[in-house]
Amino acid sequence: MNFFHIFSVASLATVEVYAAIPAGFAFGLHPLMIFASSVFGGLVGVFVAAFLGDRIRAFFKRNKPVKEEKPKNGLAHKLWEKYGIIGLGFLGTMTVGAPISLAVGVGFNAPLKKLVTWCCVGVLVRCAVFTAIGHYGLKMI
């Protein structure tokens, strides 16, 4: 195993797991190593996005002029109202990724600790599912 390959998978996973897991298989890494490095990278991405998201929100609140609130009838708001933190953290991470889920959660003023927890669970499940799909899918070929 090459350290560069493992580092590349972890680095890709900080941004997008959909790119990291296929890269791990392309590098010829063992599925457990792909899973471990993608989970590590995904969790780093969650915490970086949570840290930066809090800083970005503080910056925009400080420099933002006060204006009237928009009506709350958009699709994202409907999903937030229906599924709450679990839907945004877990299901959002499974579909669009943790950084986007965290950004939307910060926009809705969600409790950051709960949101980060559910995003971490989503990263763990997402990496397990997609690594298993890749492993067994390659066995079928």
List the one residue out of 119, 47, 116 whose CA is nearest residue 90: 119
Query: For every one of its 141 residues, what pLDDT tens digit does the chain have, with 9 covering 90 and above?
Result: 689 999 999 999 998 888 999 999 999 999 999 999 999 999 999 999 888 876 766 776 776 665 545 556 665 677 778 888 888 888 888 888 888 888 888 888 888 899 999 999 999 999 999 999 999 999 998
Question: What is the structure's pLDDT at 55?
Answer: 75
Check: CB of residue 39 under 8 Å from CB of residue 14.
no
Question: What is the structure's pLDDT at 117?
Answer: 94
Tell how far CA 42 is from the center of its chain.
6
Domain extents for the chain?
Answer: 3-140
Q: What is the pTM of this model?
A: 0.83
